[in-house]
Amino acid sequence: MRAAAFVLLGVMGAGPALAQGAECSFYFGAENFDADDAVALGRINALSPRTNFVKSAAIRKGCPDGSAACRDKAYLVPGDEVVLIGGGDPFVCASFVGAKGQTTEGFLPRAAVTLVPNQPIAAESWIGRWRGSPEQDIVIEKGAGQDGLKVKGDATYGALDPERVKRGAVNLGSLEGEAPLRGATLSFAMGENGTIAFDKGDEYECKVRLRRLGPYLLVKDNNMCGGMNVTFTGVYRRR
């Protein structure tokens, strides 16, 4: 398994380090919208022809380490791009997102990832259809003004479970708003009468922050954008 990944780690000054341990501490938590301020783009370097993920202690006792027993089947190759956010030596926490939205979580060797300088991202590069998990879909279109963007999304919980579908127990969620782009970030809340500023939304209104980083769209919401367990939070790739 290979392709770009979403990775949580620190690489030679990439940003604030997260606590390292035998388990991964992933970036996406609805309670912390500001955690994405530390993210950076990285790239798998030529340390080896391929870089395997490394299992956590939850999967195999004593991991992560460099033994064959801790080596996972999933791997990346030089040139694959990753998203970075803190971490430690010698292994860093990682979450791989494939072209169809499949995710692999584990550790990567820190030495295998090189930091990529930030590049400006134009509003036009946001436009398109983005896929997170198989139950997350977001469409971004041109909005009003030079940097205005329209966002519309659908998400479900349980749509891939035949039993839940049969019982009519699939939970639904939706996302719709228009806001101006601020640097590499777009944020808004869904009020009773339409889009409102992110900071004006209360705790029971859908609030979302989107960020472009390299080829990725990072999305984080407050778990108020749909039914129980429905969320748009995740890493998206253009379809």
User: Is a pLDDT exceeding 90 seen at residue 225?
Assistant: yes
Q: What confidence score (pLDDT) does residue 97 get?
A: 72
CA 208 from chain centre, in angstroms, equals: 13
Average pLDDT over every residue of 86-100: 69
**Which residue, 162, 161, 186, 160, is CA-closest to 175?**
186
Instruction: In whole angstroms, give the CA distance from residue 102 to residue 21.
Output: 25
Place of tokens 């690489």: 11
* pLDDT confidence bin for 112, thresholds 50/70/90: very high
- Residue spans of the domains in the chain: they are 5-116, 123-238
Going by the DSSP 8-state scheme, the letter that residue 49 receives in this structure is S
Written as one letter, the residue type at 202 is: D
* Average pLDDT value for the chain: 82
Coil, helix or strand for 185? strand
